[in-house]
Amino acid sequence: MSSTALPRQIRGPSAFGGGLRRALYLTWIIGLTEYRLTYFGSALGYLWSLMRPLMLFGVLYVVFSQIVDFGDDIVNYPMLLLFNIVLFNFFADASTKAVTSVVDREAIVRKMHFPGMVIPLARVLSGGLNLAVSLIAVFVFLLAYGVDPRWTWLLLPLLLVPLVLLTLGVAMLLSALYVRFRDVAPIWAVVSTALFYGSPVLYAIDKVPEDYRQVLMLVNPLADILEQGRSWVIDPNADGAIAAAGGGAWILVPIAVGAAVCALGVWVFNREAPRIAERL
């Protein structure tokens, strides 16, 4: 007998084709590379990971705190604003960049056997690295502002996990659809703006009229993540997502919505993956 490996059938492209281990290595190395190149060539380099949310925060703070008295009765409003912006920006940035990601990497998709799902995953990973750096700055500011550190700060990963999963779901869904429908890009630009105002980023959920409050909390998982973050990190007296969603088992609804988006993203991408190379 020869020492040949057993013949294996070439099954064509798929979301994770070529082995899970390779796909994970690829996600890591490509995501890291993209992050390193984000601010490449700029004078401040990685500092922009800190500077960008801070500058945006500065603008919004001046507008909503100094010009229109928006956050007067919200505890630690500037810090809430900063915290929310960093979290929401991760979602918006990663998903927007993911839309065109597969098309942008056309050369790879068309000229080599490549696990397609790695591409949106790497975009989200690169956004996640950016988020991690930004969050360090957020906590430094929280302490400097005089927010008392509490043990609930340690629960933050419990919010980041669903946030990342939701972002991944959206990224996979949009990147796969964009290959077929280029309309996805302008549509998503509008939808993500709507989500910005439809999530308690600039405001706290108790500012929303009672009638809409529960609906918002049920259909938009981002609202729950941000509200729960407010309660754990910024203002211990805030009600938290469960109460705002209607109490008790109602919280399962936004969780289900988030899980459904994620599952839909994986399903759509998986279904499209074998033909992406032909359609580009």
Partner 1 sequence: MNERATAVGVAGVSKTFRIPRQHLMSFKERAMHPFRRVAVTDLHALKDVSFDIEQGEFFGIAGRNGSGKSTLLKCMAGVYRVDRGAITVAGRLVPFIELGVGFNQEMTALDNVVINGVMMGLSPREAQRRFDAVVEFAELDDFLDLKLKNYSSGMQVRLAFSLMVHADADVLLIDEVLAVGDAAFQQKCFDAFHDLRDRGKTVVLVTHDMQMIERFCQRAMLLHRGAVADIGDPGSVARRYLELNFEEDDEASVTAGRPEDVSHGVAIGDVWIERPDGRRVDSVGQGDPLVIRAEIEALQRIDDPEIGVTINDEAGTVVFGTATRELGREEQPFEPGERISLRLALRNDLKPARYYVDCGVHEGVHRVAAFRYRASDFLVFGNRAQLGLVALDHTFELERRRNRTEAATPS
What residues between 227 and 266 interact with partner 1 by CB under 8 A? none
Residue 6 DSSP label: P
Q: Is the dihedral of CA 193, 201, 74, 206 positive or negative?
A: positive
Residue 238, by phi and psi: left (phi above 0), alpha (psi -120 to 50) or beta? beta
- The residue from 15, 20, 26, 242 that contacts partner 1 (CB under 8 A) is 26
Indicate whether 19 belongs to the interface with partner 1 (CB under 8 A): yes
- The residue from 20, 37, 55, 260 that contacts partner 1 (CB under 8 A) is 37
Q: CA angle at residue 205 from 141 to 166, to 5 degrees? A: 75
Q: Kindly write down the DSSP assignment for every residue of 50-92, as one continuous string.
A: HHHHHHHHHHHHIIIIIIS--STTSTTHHHHHHHHHHHHHHHH
Q: State the Cα–Cα distance between residues 90 and 84, nearest whole angstrom.
A: 10
In terms of CB distance, is 187 or 266 closer to partner 1? 187
Indicate whether 30 belongs to the interface with partner 1 (CB under 8 A): yes
Q: Find tokens 């064509």 and name the residue.
A: 12
Indicate whether 6 belongs to the interface with partner 1 (CB under 8 A): yes
Indicate whether 182 belongs to the interface with partner 1 (CB under 8 A): yes
- The residue from 7, 146, 157, 209 that contacts partner 1 (CB under 8 A) is 7
In terms of CB distance, is 52 or 105 closer to partner 1? 105
Tokens matching residue 270: 């998986």
In terms of CB distance, is 29 or 62 closer to partner 1? 29
Q: Find tokens 């399962």 and name the residue.
A: 252
Indicate whether 113 belongs to the interface with partner 1 (CB under 8 A): yes
Indicate whether 190 belongs to the interface with partner 1 (CB under 8 A): no
Count residues contacting partner 1 (CB under 8 A)? 41
Give the binding range for partner 1 (CB under 8 A) out of 3-11, 88-96, 128-136, 192-200. 3-11
In terms of CB distance, is 37 or 215 closer to partner 1? 37
